[in-house]
Amino acid sequence: MRPLKLAPTISTPKPSNFSLNFDVSKRIKEREDANIVEGYIITQDVENNAIYKFYAEINIDNDRLWSLIKYIISGFQSDVALIYHHIDEEPSYGNYVDKYELINELGKYEVELAQDGFLKFGAIHHAEGFLEEVFVEKSKYIKYWGMDKETFTMVMEQFGLYPVKGLNFIDEYPMQTEVLSLHCENCLATGELLRIFDNLYKIEK
């Protein structure tokens, strides 16, 4: 399988460019043989009384990331809450809003959401005995907590995604992150986008 298309802001450092200790250099070398491709793994099946039924991690080419996130959110219950934060800060949870309202608003910032390696975000619907959540990590792979494994599998197949044995993720290895402005001159900085989300969704205490 061909290698995963990463966000332009995410890369593996070259040992020749840095003064690295042996362990880091070894991990960079191991990265060359890593199975970082499109696909997913279901890593946890849970007991019947758990709040969610399964957990999955998904690799998808970066230029298709927003399309999948949008599709997943559209399959949630009618009201969802945005989760968002800088990678060095604790998550903020927004007020619950209509899922299509959230999708339309987030779509204005598709590039920032998909490529800003200093931003984490997701969406959640949580009720008694029920949890659906999708979350994008800083390296731009997806975490998913859900209730219906069969529906999840069908969605993955629609995007040409299938279980991959021994699937790896880029953040298992040393990686470096560049600011988005180096690759997208007109994109919002991380802090600017977070302030927009605060103004739109932040829960007032």
96-130 pLDDT, tens digit per residue, is 999 999 999 999 999 999 999 999 999 999 998 89
Strand partners, 45: 54
Rounded distance between C-alpha atoms, residue 81 and residue 73, angstroms: 10
| Domain ranges across the chain | 10-201
What is the DSSP code string of 149-188?
Answer: HHHHHHHHHHTT--B-TT---GGGS--EE--GGGT-TTSP
Mean pLDDT by 10 residues, the chain (205 residues): 96 69 74 93 74 95 98 95 97 97 98 98 94 98 96 98 97 94 97 98 81
pLDDT of residue 183: 97
Tens of pLDDT along 8-24? 999 988 766 555 566 77
| Predicted local confidence at residue 118, as pLDDT | 98
| DSSP code string of 64-120 | GHHHHHHHHHHTS-SEEEEEEEETTS--EEEEEEEHHHHHHHHGGGHHHHHH-TTEE
Return d(Cα 149, Cα 190) in angstroms, integer: 33
Query: pTM higher than 0.75, yes or no?
Result: yes
Kindly give, in sequence order, each residue whose CB lies less than 8 Å from that of residue 65, ignoring residues fewer than 6 positions away: 113, 114, 136, 140, 142
**Largest pairwise CA distance in the chain:** 53
